[in-house]
Structure 1
Amino acid sequence: MDLAVYILMCIFLIVGVYQFYFLTQNHAKRQPKNLETFLDKKFHLKPKWTWVYSGLYYPVIILIIFSVDGMRAFNYTAMSYFILLFMQMAFFYFYPVATPVSWRENIQGDRYSVWLLKLVHRFDKSSNCFPSMHVSVATLTALHLMSNTPWLGAWPMLFPVLIALSALYTKQHYVADLLPGAALGWCAFQIFSVMYIA
């Protein structure tokens, strides 16, 4: 029964948290910047990576539930994601960054991947790029998994690497968005560690 409650709460948290994401997406402080460099041109659009970007992303986050040890751990873990969200929102509001409109035009590929990518585009506009929220959340998730299940070793870090690659191949993010996203996820985990141990 506890597991069912955790899963339900996790789904509600994910859906609820995205409302704040959309708030900053539509109400930035200034005009969004373009951070495109020659490195971004090396990554051509590959819609199949959407299955990693969205299809792998949410299930792995929910996996955290199976690694937490009790309600206290669950609450503090959830709080770490809220802390990360508010740090992200500060960047999205005060330093908005958006990908070029051309990155979302003439999408070619198998119809299911194209359909999923267009579905992502419908909800996730081209703004709120810097730092990458996908990479920051994936990094925070990987750090929680490594902390809660030490027997996994460093394998959970493969998750943010795959998410970072998918962010580039779906043209949802610039190269410049990735490392700051990972750094923000790491910062949120450090804050969680201090709070949880205290």
Structure 2
Amino acid sequence: MTAASIDTTAATSAQVPLPRRIAMVLATMTIATVFYLAINTYPLRQPRLLPLTFVDEWIGWQAWTIWPYWLLLFTGPALLLSIRERNLLLATLRAYAIAMSLNAAIWLAWPTRMLRSGLPEGMDPFTAFAWHCLYALDDVNNCFPSGHITIPAVVAVGAGLQYPRARPWIWLTLIALAPSVISTGQHYAWDIAGGLATATIGLLLAGVPLWRPGAAPLLQPQ
């Protein structure tokens, strides 16, 4: 093995301590959340109403799916915190920043909104509280593209490289939780497609080691 390859392997396998990871993730998520909430509350243009698709009508609105929806929201930060390899974490954060910047550009230039119906009666107190928290934090604007899809899609790639054996379970979990963005009335099918598109662009532009062939074996096996 050459000295260059040893240096590359050592650099790639450098670990980021948990406190620093927490600080990095908190800073990234806070900036993105504050910016989103600001332009969601005060859009620069009149938001356009997106049409329903047959997928939205088929899935419908289900009160209980507030729980998988909240779980999806926390999955992104949790997976991001789990990435220990320095180069991989930095590449994932780059992809996150690029993808969310694309989302923000669309939200600013072409804001959208969706219809939101009132909450039904008869929900248990915990479910009702979860819904009231959601409605208090998130408005009906800027639903396309869905950042709730962009973020976990980006982070799942980085986490899947960090933990290759867990990769199928990571993606199966996200696929199972993703419909909750529709069944809670937070997004339409269009928004999911848009979120996946910006996630893909962010991952492609982030570069090594997310998309370079042969990059994953440099990471420490899990």
Instruction: Specify the TM-score bucket, using the shorter chain as the normaliser.
Output: 0.7 to 0.9
More helix by share: 1
Structure 1 unaligned spans of 5+: none
The answer on whether the counterparts of 2:107 and 2:144 sit within 8 Å (CA) in structure 1 is: yes
2:116 counterpart of 1:97: no
Match of 1:155 in 2: 169
CA deviations on 1:42-71 (whole Å, 9 max, x unpaired) are 23322222222123432443233323313x
Match of 1:76 in 2: 91
Sequence identity (%): 21
2:151 counterpart of 1:141: no
1:38 offset after TM fit, Å? 4.6
Q: 1:86-125 maps to which residues of 2 (within 5 A)?
A: 86-102=101-117, 104-106=118-120, 109-125=123-139
Match of 2:142 in 1: 128
Match of 2:5 in 1: none
Note closer, same or farther for the CA distance 1:101–1:197 as it changes in structure 2 (3 Å cut).
closer
Structure 2 unaligned spans of 5+: 1-15, 213-222
| TM-score with structure 1 setting the length | 0.85
Task: Give me the whole-angstrom Cα distance separating, in 1, the residues matched to 2:194 and 2:211.
Answer: 26
The answer on whether the counterparts of 2:49 and 2:112 sit within 8 Å (CA) in structure 1 is: yes
Match of 1:165 in 2: 179
2:46 counterpart of 1:37: no
CA deviations on 1:50-97 (whole Å, 9 max, x unpaired) are 222123432443233323313x43333222211121111011111111
CA deviations on 1:141-196 (whole Å, 9 max, x unpaired) are 21112222222243322243234211011110011111121121111111112587
Pick the aligned partner of 1:14 from 11, 29, 34.
29
| TM-score with structure 2 setting the length | 0.77
Structural RMSD (CA): 2.5
2:200 counterpart of 1:193: no
SS in 1 for 2:46: coil
Structure 1 residue runs of 4+, over 4 Å off?
Answer: 194-198
Task: Give me the whole-angstrom Cα distance separating, in 2, the residues matched to 1:17 and 1:194.
Answer: 23
SS in 1 for 2:143: coil
Note closer, same or farther for the CA distance 1:134–1:42 as it changes in structure 2 (3 Å cut).
same
